[in-house]
Homo-oligomer: A and B are copies of this chain.
Amino acid sequence: MVSKNQIKLVRSLHQKKYRNIHNLFVAEGIKVVRELVNSDFKVNSLYSSDSEINLGTPDVIELVTEAELKKMSALTAPNKIIGVFEIPKNQKPNFDGWVVVLDDIRDPGNLGTIIRLCDWFGVEHLVCSANTVDCYNPKTLQATMGSISRVNIGYTNLQTFLQNAPVGVFGAFMEGDVVYGTDLPKSGILVLGNEANGVSKEIEALVTQKISIPQFGKNTTESLNVATATAILLNEIKRN
């Protein structure tokens, strides 16, 4: 039987503060949980209200009531399974391919979509500024659709990281070289900025080439959403 303390622990993990204290995060739903148990992530505990559930691994799933699951869940309509996993150690990025760098992305859905894009386009390393939203945020995890198990994500001081980068630093800007004509090498760093303010001044100073996606519609002051800009730029990098 699940104890009150276990329920309390799982609930607390919906907050970043407690994720950092316990070095654990919680994932909900069969799809994400299955991807995670079948990956390099270390399982801490699994809870389900469905005795028939099968993850394809020998991990023990603790049976709980729907009421207990609801208490652990961040969702109003909880899924049938909740998994608690260890937060992996930061992996040092290699520069064999492209690395994506995020400068203060704040929307959990955008981060989740970007993680999913990294997975699709074979980007193994995603490096985030300390103020970027936490990738173990429940909304982010949901938006990754499990692809978080295939991308190494680290949080670091971007200035230090970029100053020491052995490859070109390409940044997405409203005004930059049109990406279609830009020579994009086999490896590099792609920097995307904050939803409202774009790339910060300190990071802009470390960008070696500004690139931009041309606007074809009526000229407005609008920009593209950061996740759709990432989609287009990763496609440009990989299509060659």
Task: State the A residues within 8 Å of B (CB).
Answer: 109, 113, 116-123, 145-147, 150, 180, 213-218, 220, 222, 224-225, 227-229, 231-232, 235-236, 238-239
Pick from B109, B120, B123, B229: contact of A224, CB below 8 A. Answer: B120
Q: Give how many copies assemble into the complex.
A: 2
Instruction: Find out whether the CB atom of A225 lies under 8 angstroms from the CB atom of B122.
Output: no
Q: Which 6 A-B pairs have the closest CB atoms?
A: A122-B216, A122-B217, A228-B231, A231-B231, A232-B235, A121-B216
Pick from B119, B215, B224, B227: contact of A222, CB below 8 A. Answer: B119
Pick from B118, B119, B228, B236: contact of A220, CB below 8 A. Answer: B119
Counting chain B CB atoms within 10 Å of each CB, the highest count among A109, A215, A232 belongs to A232
Contact of A145 with B222 at beta-carbon distance under 8 Å, contacts A216-B121, A217-B121, A228-B227 already known: yes
Instruction: Find out whether the CB atom of B227 lies under 8 angstroms from the CB atom of A150.
Output: no
Can you list 6 A-B pairs with a CB-CB distance of less than 8 A? A120-B224, A145-B222, A150-B218, A216-B238, A228-B228, A232-B235
